[in-house]
């Protein structure tokens, strides 16, 4: 027995598989602001689902996971704000604040102001 893949016969032409380069963008060509904002949007989306804000929300609600995601999002936005400009950072900050407020509302025992997820980076969040 051989491990070699049989060559295509004349009646079975080899199919041209699309090249990896043609299916994906070279990561070096993606601007940093796009990578940062994409990661932030993924963190926001995941946090929203874990806060129960998605369809069938209660089924996916996990405040411990939401806390971790919001904390990571706050760190990313705070650290990158000067690099990505206010044009990109402002809507991310607004989304972060909305998630922080939603977390406070979803908590049975809300954190003290300044102690909620991400608030060590953003400062206290009030409604």
Per-residue pLDDT tens over the stretch 37-91:
999 999 999 999 999 999 888 899 999 999 999 999 999 999 999 999 999 999 9
* Cβ burial 107-127 (10 Å sphere, 16+ → b, else e): eeeebeeeebbbbeebeebee
| Residue 110: predicted pLDDT | 87
11 within 8 A of 63, measured Cβ to Cβ: no
Taking the C-alpha atoms of residue 59 and residue 63, their distance in angstroms, rounded to an integer, is: 12
Res. 23: pLDDT tops 70: no
| Residue 123: predicted pLDDT | 95
């Amino acid at each position: 027995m051989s491990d070699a893949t049989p060559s295509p016969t004349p009646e079975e032409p080899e199919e041209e598989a699309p090249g990896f380069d043609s299916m994906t963008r070279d990561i070096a060509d993606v601007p940093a602001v796009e990578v940062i904002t994409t990661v932030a949007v993924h963190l926001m989306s995941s946090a929203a689902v874990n806060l129960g804000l998605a369809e069938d929300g209660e089924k996916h609600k996990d405040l411990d996971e939401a806390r971790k995601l919001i904390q990571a999002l706050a760190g990313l936005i705070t650290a990158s704000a000067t690099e990505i400009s206010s044009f990109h950072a402002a809507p991310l900050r607004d989304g972060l604040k909305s998630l922080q407020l939603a977390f406070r509302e979803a908590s049975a025992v809300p954190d003290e102001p300044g102690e909620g997820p991400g608030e060590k980076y953003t400062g206290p969040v009030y409604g």
